[in-house]
């Protein structure tokens, strides 16, 4: 497969952003919401004493390894937060100590703050997981839906490299006649816009499985000979994600209270003639790469089941511990009180009091993730140097 040299891709990206600035094309609209933080005490966090924190400490260590590669004064996360990589150093050093006590590390090196946004302190938390999908290496009548690698002409521009106020914003497309243009939509790609180019990593038997693989962002491919291959997110076509559950509600085909991954799958299975058009309303399309291990989050760390959280990076920095007190989807009336670490992001995650809870790999994780639409509160645990700097 012919690939564009990295230098040329970088030049194209830079030229595209320059043209955006010169022609006056606006960047993505800034968020109107704002993260509000109120100091709290660990004793005020519901269920803090009962949470077993060893897995959370293991997740933090993975973020620490990533942060250690940055200069101490390197900015981490949104400008308004004011975090720097060095803020985590004392906590990371303590976490790496032999026989480190997880609770002692968090209580000594972090300060909890209750989070709120424009709509208050309570937000919505959904779930995601790593699906397992039956595939084959070659196309056949049974396996006819491709899982595609990133096409070489797809350019993703980090706008924050050009203006500070655009930090954590990206735009994707392809260069046509020296201009960055929108890329193919999901409907166009499904119809064959990229066919015949050797981008197929594997062929799946169920287009609905592939659709949900795109939503989850990673997965495990299972071949007929028993071989397994992990795939991870490697780019997106640049279009905003559209939730087809919300489309079903808008159409009057489903009540909001009934929307779940399971109910959406059931609707698609019951309406095979209408299913493709409904899925095509989501113009977003995800490209994948094979990886030897995982699953990997957007923070470039391996996710920890039930301890990694996808967040809106316009408000929350990767590596921040986030304590949740939310509805437990597995049991009516129960609470899920858990310390997580911000290590991923998702196209549907918008706002300072919002998150996607990573449940793990396989069917059981998918069952919990598919049912999850929990309401509740969150607390950010700021590294003590950052908390003290903000207080000053």
DSSP 196: T
- The Cα 17–Cα 277 span in angstroms is 33
Q: List pLDDT tens digits, range 328-342.
A: 999 999 999 999 999
Number of structural domains in the chain: 2
Same-domain pairing of 274 and 347: no
52, pLDDT greater than 90: yes
Q: List pLDDT tens digits, range 238-287.
A: 999 999 999 999 999 999 989 999 999 999 999 999 999 999 999 999 99
- The Cα 93–Cα 76 span in angstroms is 18
Residue 31 lies in a domain: no
**Partners of 174 in the beta sheet?**
181
Q: What is the pLDDT of residue 347?
A: 74
- List Cβ<8 Å contacts ≥24 apart for 251-254: none
Mean per-residue pLDDT for 1-6?
Answer: 41
Query: How many H-runs (helices) and E-runs (strands) does the chain carry?
Result: 11, 19
Whole-structure pTM over 0.85, yes or no? no
Domain boundary among 291, 310, 327: 291
Within 51-158, strands assigned E span 75-76, 83-84, 110-116, 123-130, 132-136, 145-148, 155-158
Mean per-residue pLDDT for 303-313?
Answer: 96
Q: List pLDDT tens digits, range 290-300.
A: 999 989 999 99
Residue 266 lies in a domain: yes
CATH of the domain at 205: 2.40.240.50
Q: What is the pLDDT of residue 21?
A: 39
Same-domain pairing of 284 and 137: yes
- List Cβ<8 Å contacts ≥24 apart for 299-303: 299/63, 299/66, 299/342, 299/343, 299/344, 300/66, 301/62, 301/63, 301/65, 301/66, 301/343, 302/62, 303/343, 303/344, 303/358
Q: List pLDDT tens digits, range 220-250.
A: 999 999 999 999 999 999 999 999 999 999 9
DSSP per-residue letters across 132-195: EEEEESS--SS--EEEEBPPTT-EEEEGGGT-GGGTT-EEEEEEETTEEE----HHHHHTTTTT
Residue 214 lies in a domain: yes
CATH of the domain at 88: 2.40.40.10
Per-residue confidence at 29, pLDDT binned at 50, 70, 90?
very low
Structure-token pair, residue 265? 């799958």
Domain boundary among 227, 259, 291: 291
- The Cα 236–Cα 289 span in angstroms is 12
Cα radius of gyration (the chain): 21
Domain boundary among 270, 291, 312: 291
Which one has a higher pLDDT value, 113 or 2?
A: 113
Do the strands 110-116 and 170-176 form a parallel or antiparallel pair, or are they unpaired? Answer: unpaired
1, pLDDT greater than 60: no
- Which residue is listed with tokens 């069952």? 367
24, pLDDT greater than 70: no
Same-domain pairing of 328 and 273: no
Mean per-residue pLDDT for 190-199?
Answer: 96
Residue 23 lies in a domain: no
Q: What is the pLDDT of residue 23?
A: 39
Pick from 371, 365, 305, 372: nearest CA to 131: 365
Q: What is the pLDDT of residue 17?
A: 40
């Amino acid at each position: 497969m012919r690939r564009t040299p990295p230098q040329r891709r970088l030049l194209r990206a830079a030229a595209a952003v320059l043209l955006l600035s010169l022609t006056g094309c606006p960047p993505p609209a800034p968020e109107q919401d704002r993260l509000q933080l109120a100091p709290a005490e660990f004793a005020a966090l519901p269920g803090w004493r009962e949470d077993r924190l060893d897995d959370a400490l293991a997740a933090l260590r993975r973020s620490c390894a990533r942060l250690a590669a940055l200069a101490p004064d390197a900015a981490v996360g949104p400008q308004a937060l004011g975090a720097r990589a060095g803020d985590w150093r004392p906590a990371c050093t303590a976490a790496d100590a032999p026989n480190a006590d997880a609770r002692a590390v968090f209580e000594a090196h972090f300060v909890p703050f209750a989070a709120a946004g424009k709509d208050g302190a309570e937000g919505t938390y959904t779930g995601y997981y790593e699906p397992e999908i039956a595939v084959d290496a070659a196309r056949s009548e049974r396996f006819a839906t491709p899982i595609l690698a990133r096409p070489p002409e797809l350019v993703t521009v980090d706008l924050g490299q050009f203006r500070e106020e655009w930090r954590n914003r990206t735009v994707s497309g392809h260069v046509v006649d020296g201009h960055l243009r929108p890329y193919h939509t999901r409907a166009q790609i499904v119809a064959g816009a990229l066919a015949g180019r050797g981008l197929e990593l594997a062929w799946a038997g169920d287009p609905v499985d592939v659709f949900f693989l795109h939503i989850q962002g990673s997965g495990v491919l299972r071949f007929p000979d028993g071989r397994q291959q992990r795939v991870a997110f490697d780019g997106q076509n640049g279009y905003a994600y559209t939730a087809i559950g919300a489309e079903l509600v808008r159409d009057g085909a489903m009540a909001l209270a009934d929307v779940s991954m399971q109910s959406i799958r059931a609707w698609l299975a019951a309406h095979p003639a209408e299913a493709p058009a409904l899925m095509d309303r989501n113009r977003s399309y995800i490209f994948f790469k094979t990886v030897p291990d995982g699953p990997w989050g957007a923070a470039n760390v391996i996710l920890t089941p039930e301890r990694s959280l996808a967040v809106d990076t316009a408000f929350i920095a990767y590596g921040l511990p986030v304590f949740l007190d939310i509805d437990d989807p597995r049991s009516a009336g129960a609470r899920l009180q858990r310390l997580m670490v911000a290590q991923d992001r998702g196209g549907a995650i918008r706002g300072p009091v919002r998150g996607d809870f990573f449940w793990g790999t396989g069917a059981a994780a998918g069952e919990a993730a598919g049912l999850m639409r929990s309401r509740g509160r969150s607390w950010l645990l700021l590294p003590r140097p950052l908390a003290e700097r903000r207080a000053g």
